[in-house]
């Protein structure tokens, strides 16, 4: 408006400084006198400038007030704070998809103290998540970069379609050849495609769920033990340890060649499981096997 008013008064014969001064005093309605006497055309132009200028100022004030009332400003500040937090993350996990599978992965990783970033293009899938989130199409490389793929440890592709999971896997592998990628496969046929696309593992949640249900039906006690070890609601952090080589000797699980190693596992819990009638006692076992 200031530029338009200055140009208008300059056309009416005002100098640049006088035109700028007249425009500012007119738009701000401070009531100072005219720099030069105005003709009828100048008076009409001033009337239009006042109406448009005041109307624009009131509209801008209304937008600012709406942002303050509805929390838009608070959301913008939260978004900036979240973006800064994501930029500072190192060794985190990117969860592509905020659906049921993605949320389950987020809860598990968070319980183990891992940092996560959830990315989804549907705002409804990000509601209620008290974690760093990013709204956008995860198949876009710019969104992956904004999620910190350059300094992330792993990525879980849990989108609703196998095509999107394949695309995300390809893009992620191209951006980070050393990234750990776990992809969701909705069908058995898509598992091989995801692996060829660069995923370290392809998982079919429906298949795993059905197999667990069948295992409980056939071997309830064994399945319950394995379920507590691997799939209990209490997250457990598993790892691997290198075993120094030692001279081969016969043992309960010794093979015909290779270096023997000791594999040990321990489980101890005092939290009742919903499917157990009694608490499990601490369990430990050790087996010696030969690594081929």
**Residue of 54 and 272 predicted with greater confidence:** 54
Q: Where are the alpha helices (DSSP H) in 130-219?
A: 141-146, 162-175, 188-197, 205-218
What confidence tier does 152 reach under pLDDT thresholds 50, 70, 90? Answer: very high
Task: With a cut of 70, say whether residue 290 has pLDDT above it.
Answer: no
Residues 168 and 176: their CA atoms lie apart, in Å, by: 12
Question: Is residue 60's pLDDT more than 90?
Answer: no
For residue 196, the model assigns a pLDDT of 93
Instruction: Name the strands in the sheet holding 152-157, side by side, starting at the edge strand that comes first in the sequence.
Output: 133-135, 116-120, 92-96, 152-157, 180-184, 201-203
Q: What is the pLDDT of residue 189?
A: 85
| Residue pointed to by tokens 């183990």 | 112
Does the pLDDT at position 70 exceed 60?
A: yes
Percent of the chain with pLDDT over 90: 33
**Residue of higher predicted confidence among 70 and 217:** 217
At 15 the pLDDT is: 76
The arithmetic mean of pLDDT across residues 212-226, rounded, is: 77
CATH of the domain spanning 89-203: 3.40.50.720
Residue 256, token pair as written in the block: 């015909």
Statement: residue 118 has pLDDT above 60 = yes
How much is the pLDDT for 173?
95
pLDDT per residue as tens digits for the range 232-266:
555 555 555 666 665 555 554 444 444 444 444 44
32 versus 19: which is more confidently predicted?
Answer: 19
CATH topology of domain 2-70: Helix Hairpins (1.10.287)
Gyration radius of the chain's alpha carbons: 33
For residue 63, pLDDT over 80 is answered with yes
Annotated domain spans of the chain = 2-70, 89-203, 208-291
| pLDDT of the residue at 116 | 95
Read off the pLDDT of residues 155-199 as tens digits, 9 standing for 90 and up. 999 998 999 999 999 999 999 999 999 999 988 888 999 999 999
What pLDDT does 238 receive?
Answer: 56
pTM above 0.85, yes or no: no
2-70 with 89-203: one CATH topology? no
Residues 50, 56, 59, CA angle at the centre, nearest 5°? 135
């Amino acid at each position: 408006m200031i530029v338009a008013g200055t140009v208008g008064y300059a056309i009416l014969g005002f100098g640049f400084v006088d035109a700028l001064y007249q425009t500012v005093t007119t738009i701000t309605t401070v009531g100072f006198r005219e720099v030069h006497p105005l003709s009828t055309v100048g008076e009409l132009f001033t009337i239009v400038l006042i109406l448009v200028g005041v109307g624009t100022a009131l509209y801008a004030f209304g937008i600012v007030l709406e942002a303050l009332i509805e929390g838009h400003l608070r959301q913008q500040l939260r978004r900036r704070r979240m973006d800064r937090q994501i930029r500072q993350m190192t060794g985190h996990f990117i969860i592509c998809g905020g659906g049921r599978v993605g949320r389950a992965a987020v809860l598990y990783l968070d319980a183990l103290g891992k940092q996560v970033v959830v990315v989804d293009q549907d705002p409804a899938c990000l509601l209620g998540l008290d974690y760093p989130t990013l709204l956008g199409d995860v198949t876009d490389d710019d969104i992956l970069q904004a999620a910190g793929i350059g300094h992330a440890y792993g990525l879980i592709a849990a989108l609703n379609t196998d095509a999107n999971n394949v695309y995300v896997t390809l893009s992620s592998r191209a951006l980070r050849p050393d990234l750990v990628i776990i992809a969701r496969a909705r069908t058995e046929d898509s598992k091989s495609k995801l692996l060829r696309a660069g995923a370290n593992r392809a998982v079919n949640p429906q298949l795993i769920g059905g197999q667990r249900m069948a295992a409980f039906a056939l071997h309830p006690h064994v399945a319950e033990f394995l379920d507590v070890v691997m799939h209990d609601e209490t997250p457990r952090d598993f790892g691997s340890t290198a075993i120094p080589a030692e001279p081969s000797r016969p043992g309960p699980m010794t093979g015909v060649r290779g270096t023997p190693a000791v594999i040990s596992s321990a489980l101890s819990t005092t939290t009742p499981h919903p499917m157990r009638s009694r608490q499990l006692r601490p369990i430990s076992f050790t087996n010696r096997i030969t690594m081929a």
